[in-house]
């Protein structure tokens, strides 16, 4: 590959006023031997861009160093074909002149170092070779309930083939054999027949030429990667006359396995089991279905199970198990509407019945409020805010005694009712926990936190409980989707609800979060979009979120691999499997290009075309380290996360706030991609301190690569041994968890660290 | 999959979180051109004015940075922005293949040459109220509208710029980026689909006369509280009350200010409970001596948001009162506020003194107002419900909605609805 380097230094936006640009041009020439090196007063203007374009066509410049503003500005004009031109942006504006004193030797040295690092990176970078492939684009939908049916039909309508797997003999899921649901469109204020629209949907799915349906079936295993998944489908326990196991090639997967009711026997503290007149909400739904002869009859009388008499009083107990740290710590979201719906049905069929709804908070979001308002107008419905403190059964009178405390207006009340309904919550069908250990679902200790039942291989907070039985992935990191909390494999990212830690596999509906059927429809469509988008992007050789459009991916120089398994363990997305010996088997289609594997590898065999341990090390080596131990000669290397810390430094610049000129910033894909060799290279070169600026970690982690910033912190443990060996203080390396908007704190953070380093004195290796 | 016709682009009305998300989800799945029409001079929408998102308490700019990076890194370059623009007319194409849309774009006084060097603002003599901070401070008449402005350039406020009487900025700009003689333009597009991602505005709480917003300086809204807490806000992140810039400790949050009220917003705005809990936590973090009180009817924290309620409840300095605030009056001497509260738990009427009151103003969908300004062909079916939401989409006609245009949704669920709308567009095109 030819390295025809062109260095273009912009003197606009006061760069020329603050720096000696002529000297910059001369030092850049001396240090980097470019084919072209020049300055221009308005490089992003039409004349400047034309200059560069002419050099590209006439002088065959293919490695551009644009020393001007931030890589986040003017991307639209400094825009050259990435497959044939490497464009390296050197940030002389936001990261040099806007934060440092003008016409100062230290500011000049800062600019020189940045240009040299940029030139080295440009020279060392190769062009991306996108992995363009013909891939299978069939969508596998697991689960044939409301979410699954909608995911299937909507993928088909978008033009994609679909394979739908349902464990039961019929499609339709939970509502299939029930009675009524609340209206699915505004004004949401009445009940409608539960199968309204459902039979038609099932019909559409069953008759679609694009959808292949496996009923009575479940997933035996999923191997491979997006666009080339091999899915083994086998008969489910429910299916006695299902076909034999078959395999399908699949592009991407929507997991719509829904929910199951919270175990009724665990609700004995609310009287479940005392009498047949204490039901769960599911049992009441079944009763309605039975009484209505599966919807054939609109009018029926609800009778007590114990004696067959018409019910005259009934209490609904909300949050039976939900919002309770000893049971389900979360709110199951649908139970308030469910109980209101069920109360309305009782009032319609047994008009003399008094209905008590005992609640903590009534949660009817949005226009669902219309339903609640209507029910509040019903004089036979009594809304009782309070907590059930005791339930007993008076056998002689066949009456349920209910004690409620903390009610409105202070007092405790006693209620006698003939029937009682427990609004039990939703539990996601996200696989069965392995290891035969109870997972403690408390607020403080969601199962995704470290210390969960199975010892995690990596001591970071995002380690997972081992599960199986649903997708049965043949992935090295486990058989099921990692949970976010409470068994829900939900996205951790507010801005990106479909962020999945298993590329190409998207959970939807109530397996992902407690959702009703109305919002499950949208959720199914959203997940289906992500599923088809994943294979479309991947087939073009592009990464999916969050590095969408990135065409680079890591190469593994396997002959040098020592089978230490760090990359296969630490990949946040489970993209790397391993063979019997522990040699990594990398799946580019599952990869998100964060570089965590590159950071993990102790023998540095993993590298991207434009990002590698060698490139980083060479950039560090290009820095000028003055030997004279004066204050301004301290050198602090800063590794800054490209997504948050680097922009924060830009915003600092836009606000013209001062920052120490002792620092040299290297942007990284993620702190998790920092290879320890960079620390030792920097310290042996004489760098006095190293500062890591990256995302927050822990339960509310902000790292878009899940655990990159946390891994960086974890790897410091190994690093401390290295520092001890070098007889260097461990305080010379510090990691700061920084948010985008923390830019105002940066001057203090940096100054504090610089002062710490000054108190330790210069790096003794300086000059060696 | 079906070949998509790039002559039939998608129009997305609104460049907030939902509009941007829909545009990205479409263009990362298929090769299709998308136009985003945005009223403001920058995209990102109202969420950029949030200090932090619930429940993670992370800044909105982090996700926005990823989204702008997704836009900038696309080699197809399929997303086009029409900022400072409004849709004026939507007409059905005679052949039934889509819509002809007329868009009015305000004069683009600043062109793409702008480098955001800031020389213009240095010489600008005029100040304007800063709408990004809900008018709680000022900027120059030529200004950067947000900390993470995209497209990255300055903006001129027509209401405050003196134009030809001044022109100091024009002469200060070395890059020919300013033209104060720029004229507005009319853009006509033929589109196949339309997504309404028009978002919301806070309910005009001055209509709740008993609560005193607009009369008493220290009664503010929840959106203003976001800016007071923001480090880049008018008070540099110190929670100071407007009347005397005093650091407040005793703050009352009043839930359902307008929401769940048939005379105002009959629906629940769905986000205000989480927002007030979040803001109570801001106050606790920034002012350790603080003790916020939340007056509520029901606390609505669905799903795993319950965890966030637990977090707030575990802080004993945050008080919860199930009660209705009947009236607020002002103690003129101190600027404090006196609340008449009907405490539903004790059944008693109580008096409560607060240094500042934050009204949890509900979300009012913008479409209802916006559509009155757009001339729409009578044949076009847009099903707006009585509250102004487009919940029922027009699949045949290719008219969809996302975010709060659809239903009162938070950021997370808005992203879900935008992703869903993206699939609807692809389906509609598969049929064309």
Residue A725: its pLDDT value, please? Answer: 87
Q: Model ipTM? A: 0.96
Helix ranges restricted to H, A655-729: 676-685, 708-725
CB–CB of A532 and B29 under 8 A?
Answer: yes
| Between residues B222 and A441, the one the model is more confident about | B222
Task: Name which of A270, A421, A443, A456 is nearest A343 in CA terms.
Answer: A421
Helix (H) or strand (E) holding A222: strand A217-223
Residue B2: its pLDDT value, please? Answer: 38
CB–CB of A365 and B419 under 8 A?
Answer: no
Contacts of A486 in chain B (CB under 8 A): 304
Residue A256 in contact with residue A141, Cβ under 8 Å? yes
CB–CB of B413 and A519 under 8 A?
Answer: yes
Indicate the DSSP class of residue B387.
T
Residues forming beta bridges with residue B127, ordered by sequence position: B140
What are the residue boundaries of the structural domains of chain B, listed by start? 10-106+184-199+366-431, 119-172, 204-363
Helix (H) or strand (E) holding B386: none
Indicate the DSSP class of residue B150.
S
Contacts of B345 in chain A (CB under 8 A): 406, 408-410
For residues B198 and B306, give the distance between their C-alpha atoms in angstroms, rounded to a whole number: 29
Percent above pLDDT 70 for chain B: 98
Residue A448: its pLDDT value, please? Answer: 36
CB–CB of A696 and B58 under 8 A?
Answer: yes
Residue B372: its pLDDT value, please? Answer: 86
Closest approach of A447 to chain B, Cα-based (Å):
13
Distance of CA B61 to the CA centre of its chain: 14
CA distances from A41 to A15, A416, A557 (A): 9, 86, 44
Residue A181: its pLDDT value, please? Answer: 93
Grouping H, G, I as helix, E, B as strand and the rest as coil, residue B28 is coil
Residue A438: its pLDDT value, please? Answer: 45
- Count of CB pairs separated by less than 8 Å, A with B: 264
CA distances from A480 to A11, A336, A506, A574, B112 (A): 55, 31, 12, 11, 49
Contacts of B278 in chain A (CB under 8 A): none
Residue A155 in contact with residue A531, Cβ under 8 Å? yes
Residue of chain A minimizing CA distance to B44: A495
Q: Which of B54, B70, B270 sits opposite A548 (nearest CB)?
A: B70
Mark which residues 337-366 of A lie under 8 Å from B by CB.
Answer: 361-366
Could you name the CATH architecture of B204-363? 3-Layer(bba) Sandwich (3.50)
Residue A449: its pLDDT value, please? Answer: 32
Closest approach of A67 to chain B, Cα-based (Å):
14
CB–CB of A536 and B29 under 8 A?
Answer: yes
CB–CB of B387 and A530 under 8 A?
Answer: no
Grouping H, G, I as helix, E, B as strand and the rest as coil, residue B350 is strand
For residues A198 and A622, give the distance between their C-alpha atoms in angstroms, rounded to a whole number: 66
Indicate the DSSP class of residue A622.
T
Residue B398 in contact with residue B428, Cβ under 8 Å? yes
Residue of chain A minimizing CA distance to B363: A366
Q: What is the largest CA-CA distance in chain B?
A: 71
Q: Which of B57, B345, B411 sits opposite A410 (nearest CB)?
A: B345
Mean pLDDT of B3-32: 89
Grouping H, G, I as helix, E, B as strand and the rest as coil, residue A667 is strand
Helices vs. strands in chain A: H and E counts, helices first: 17, 34
Contacts of A739 in chain B (CB under 8 A): 58-59, 62
Residue A296: its pLDDT value, please? Answer: 86
Query: To which residue do tokens 């030529």 refer?
Result: B142
Closest approach of B356 to chain A, Cα-based (Å):
26
Task: Name which of A229, A134, A731, A183 is nearest A471 in CA terms.
Answer: A229
Q: Which residues contact A708 (CB under 8 A, 6 or more apart)?
A: A572, A594, A596, A599, A670, A671, A672, A673, A694, A695
Residue A445: its pLDDT value, please? Answer: 36
Nearest-Å Rg of the Cα atoms of chain B is 23
Grouping H, G, I as helix, E, B as strand and the rest as coil, residue B200 is strand
CB–CB of B117 and A361 under 8 A?
Answer: no
Mark which residues 6-35 of A lie under 8 Å from B by CB.
Answer: 12-14
Closest approach of B310 to chain A, Cα-based (Å):
8
For residues A516 and B302, give the distance between their C-alpha atoms in angstroms, rounded to a whole number: 12
Same fold, B10-106+184-199+366-431 and B204-363: yes
For residues A451 and A465, give the distance between their C-alpha atoms in angstroms, rounded to a whole number: 9
Residue A191 in contact with residue A341, Cβ under 8 Å? yes
Catalogue all structural domains in chain A, each as residue range(s) with its CATH number: 1-127 (3.40.50), 139-258+469-539 (3.50.50.60), 262-426 (3.50.50.60), 611-768 (3.40.50)
Q: Which residues of chain A have pLDDT under 50?
A: 436-457, 459
Mark which residues 564-623 of A lie under 8 Å from B by CB.
Answer: none
For residues A58 and A56, give the distance between their C-alpha atoms in angstroms, rounded to a whole number: 6
CATH number (3.40.630.30, 3.30.1780.10, 3.30.420.40, 3.50.50.60) of B10-106+184-199+366-431 reads: 3.50.50.60
Residue-wise pLDDT for B335-372, tens only, equals 999 999 999 888 889 999 999 999 999 999 999 888 88
Residues A547-557: b if buried by 16+ CB within 10 A, e if exposed: bbbbbbbbbbe
Contacts of B72 in chain A (CB under 8 A): 75-76
Q: What angle do CA B401, B402, B408 make, to 5 degrees?
A: 110
Residue A19 in contact with residue A661, Cβ under 8 Å? no
CB–CB of A529 and B25 under 8 A?
Answer: yes
For residues A449 and A331, give the distance between their C-alpha atoms in angstroms, rounded to a whole number: 20
CB–CB of B304 and A330 under 8 A?
Answer: yes
For residues B67 and B81, give the distance between their C-alpha atoms in angstroms, rounded to a whole number: 14
For residues A609 and A595, give the distance between their C-alpha atoms in angstroms, rounded to a whole number: 12
Residue A435: its pLDDT value, please? Answer: 62
Grouping H, G, I as helix, E, B as strand and the rest as coil, residue B16 is coil
Q: Which of B62, B267, B301 sits opposite A702 (nearest CB)?
A: B62
Helix ranges restricted to H, A454-572: 517-539, 566-570
> What are the tokens at A361?
């908070």
């Amino acid at each position: 590959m030819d390295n025809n380097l062109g260095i273009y230094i912009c003197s606009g936006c006061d760069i020329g006023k603050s720096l000696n640009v002529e000297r910059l041009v001369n030092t850049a020439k001396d240090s980097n031997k470019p084919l072209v090196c020049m300055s221009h007063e308005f490089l992003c203007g039409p004349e400047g861009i034309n200059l560069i374009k002419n050099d590209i066509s006439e002088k065959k410049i293919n490695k551009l160093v644009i020393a001007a503003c931030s890589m986040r500005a003017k991307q639209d004009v400094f825009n050259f074909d990435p497959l044939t031109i490497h464009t390296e942006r050197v940030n002389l504006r936001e990261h040099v002149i806007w934060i440092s004193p003008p016409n100062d030797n230290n500011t000049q040295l800062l600019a020189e170092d940045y240009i040299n690092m940029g030139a080295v990176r440009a020279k060392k970078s190769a062009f991306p070779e996108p992995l363009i492939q013909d891939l299978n684009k069939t969508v596998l939908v697991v689960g044939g309930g409301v979410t699954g049916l909608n995911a299937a039909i909507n993928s088909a309508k978008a033009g994609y083939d679909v394979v739908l797997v349902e464990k039961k003999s019929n499609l339709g899921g939970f509502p299939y054999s029930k009675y009524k649901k609340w209206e699915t469109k505004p004004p949401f204020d009445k009940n409608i027949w539960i199968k309204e629209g459902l039979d038609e949907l099932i019909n559409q799915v069953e008759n679609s030429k694009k959808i292949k349906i496996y009923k009575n079936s479940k997933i035996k295993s999923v191997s491979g990667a997006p666009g080339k998944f091999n899915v083994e489908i086998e008969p489910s326990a429910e299916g006695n006359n299902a076909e034999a196991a078959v395999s399908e090639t699949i592009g991407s997967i929507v997991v719509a396995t829904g929910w199951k009711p919270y175990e009724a026997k665990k609700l004995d503290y609310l009287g479940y089991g005392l009498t047949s007149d204490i039901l769960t909400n599911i049992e009441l739904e079944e009763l309605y279905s039975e009484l209505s002869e599966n919807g054939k009859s609109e009018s029926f009388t609800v009778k007590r199970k114990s004696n067959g008499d018409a019910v005259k009083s009934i209490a609904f107990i909300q949050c039976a198990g939900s919002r309770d740290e000893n049971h389900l710590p979360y709110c199951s979201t649908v139970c308030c509407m469910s109980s209101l719906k069920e109360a309305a049905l009782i009032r319609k069929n047994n008009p003399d019945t008094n209905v008590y709804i005992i609640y903590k908070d009534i949660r009817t979001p949005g226009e669902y409020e219309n339903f609640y308002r209507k029910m509040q107008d019903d004089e036979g419905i009594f809304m009782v805010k309070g907590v059930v403190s005791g339930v007993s059964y008076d056998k002689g009178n066949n009456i349920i005694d209910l004690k409620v405390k903390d009610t409105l207006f202070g007092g405790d009340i006693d209620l006698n009712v003939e029937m009682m309904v427990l609004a039990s919550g939703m539990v996601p069908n996200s696989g069965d926990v392995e290891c035969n250990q109870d997972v403690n679902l408390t607020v403080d200790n969601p199962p995704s936190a470290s210390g969960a039942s199975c010892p995690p291989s990596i001591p970071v907070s995002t380690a997972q409980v081992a599960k199986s039985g649903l997708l049965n992935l043949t992935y090295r990191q486990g058989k099921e989707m990692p949970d976010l909390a409470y068994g829900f494999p939900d996205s951790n990212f507010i801005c990106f609800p479909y962020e999945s830690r298993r590329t190409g596999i998207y959970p939807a509906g109530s397996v992902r979060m407690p959702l009703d059927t109305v919002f499950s429809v949208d959720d199914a469509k959203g997940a289906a979009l992500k599923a088809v988008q994943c294979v479309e992007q991947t087939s073009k050789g592009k990464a999916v979120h969050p590095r969408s459009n990135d065409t680079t991916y890591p190469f593994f120089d396997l002959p040098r691999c020592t089978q230490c398994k760090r990359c296969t363990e630490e990949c946040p997305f489970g993209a790397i499997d391993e063979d019997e010996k522990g040699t990594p088997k990398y799946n580019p289609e599952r990869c998100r290009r964060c570089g965590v594997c590159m950071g993990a590898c102790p023998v540095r065999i993993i590298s991207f075309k434009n990002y590698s341990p060698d490139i980083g090390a060479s950039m560090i080596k290009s820095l000028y380290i003055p030997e004279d131990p004066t204050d301004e000669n301290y050198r602090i290397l800063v590794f800054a996360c490209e997504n948050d810390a680097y922009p924060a430094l830009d915003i600092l610049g836009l606000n013209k706030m001062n920052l120490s000129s002792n620092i040299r910033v290297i942007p990284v894909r993620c702190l998790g991609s920092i290879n320890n060799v960079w620390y030792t290279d920097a310290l042996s070169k004489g760098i006095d301190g190293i500062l890591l600026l990256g995302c927050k970690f822990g339960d509310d982690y902000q790292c878009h690569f899940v655990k990159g910033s946390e891994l960086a912190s974890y790897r410091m443990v190994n690093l401390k041994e290295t520092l001890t060996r070098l007889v260097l203080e461990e305080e010379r390396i510090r990691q700061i968890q920084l948010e985008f908007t923390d830019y105002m704190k940066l001057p203090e953070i940096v100054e504090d660290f610089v002062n710490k380093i000054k108190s330790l004195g210069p790096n003794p290796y300086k000059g060696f | 999959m079906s070949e998509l016709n790039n002559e039939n682009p998608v129009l997305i009305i609104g460049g907030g979180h939902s509009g941007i998300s829909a545009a990205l989800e479409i263009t990362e799945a298929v090769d299709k051109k998308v136009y985003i029409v945005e009223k403001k001079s920058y995209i990102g929408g109202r969420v950029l004015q949030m200090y932090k998102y619930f429940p993670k308490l992370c800044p909105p700019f982090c996700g926005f940075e990823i989204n702008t990076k997704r836009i900038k890194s696309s080699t197809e370059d399929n997303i086009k922005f029409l900022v400072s623009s409004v849709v004026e007319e939507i007409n059905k194409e005679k052949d039934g293949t889509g819509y002809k849309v007329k868009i009015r774009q305000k004069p683009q006084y600043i062109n793409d040459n702008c480098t955001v060097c800031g020389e213009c603002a240095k010489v600008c003599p005029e100040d304007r109220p800063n709408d990004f901070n809900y008018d709680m401070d000022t900027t120059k008449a030529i200004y950067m509208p947000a900390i993470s402005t995209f497209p990255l350039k300055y903006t001129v406020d027509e209401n405050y710029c003196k134009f030809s009487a001044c022109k100091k900025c024009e002469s200060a700009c070395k890059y020919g980026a300013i033209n104060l003689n720029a004229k507005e333009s009319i853009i006509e597009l033929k589109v196949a689909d339309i997504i309404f991602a028009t978002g919301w505005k806070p309910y005009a709480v001055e209509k709740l006369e008993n609560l005193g917003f607009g009369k008493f300086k220290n009664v503010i809204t929840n959106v203003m509280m976001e800016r007071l807490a923001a480090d880049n806000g008018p008070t540099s992140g110190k929670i100071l009350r407007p009347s005397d810039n005093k650091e407040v400790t005793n703050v009352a949050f009043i839930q359902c200010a307008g929401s769940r009220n048939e005379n105002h917003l009959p629906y629940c705005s769905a986000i205000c409970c989480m927002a007030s809990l979040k803001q109570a936590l801001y106050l606790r973090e920034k002012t350790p001596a603080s003790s916020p009180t939340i007056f509520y009817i029901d606390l609505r924290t669905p799903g795993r948001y319950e965890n966030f309620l637990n977090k707030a409840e575990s802080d004993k300095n945050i008080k919860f009162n199930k009660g209705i605030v009947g009236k607020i009056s002002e103690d003129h001497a101190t600027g404090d506020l006196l609340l008449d509260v009907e405490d539903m738990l004790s059944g008693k009427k109580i008096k409560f003194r607060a240094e500042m009151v934050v009204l949890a103003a509900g979300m009012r969908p913008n479409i209802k107002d916006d559509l009155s300004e757009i001339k729409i062909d009578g044949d076009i079916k847009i099903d707006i419900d009585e509250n102004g939401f487009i919940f029922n989409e027009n699949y045949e006609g290719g008219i969809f909605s996302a975010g709060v245009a659809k239903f009162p949704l938070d950021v997370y669920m808005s992203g879900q609805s935008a992703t869903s709308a993206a699939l609807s567009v692809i389906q509609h095109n598969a049929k064309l």
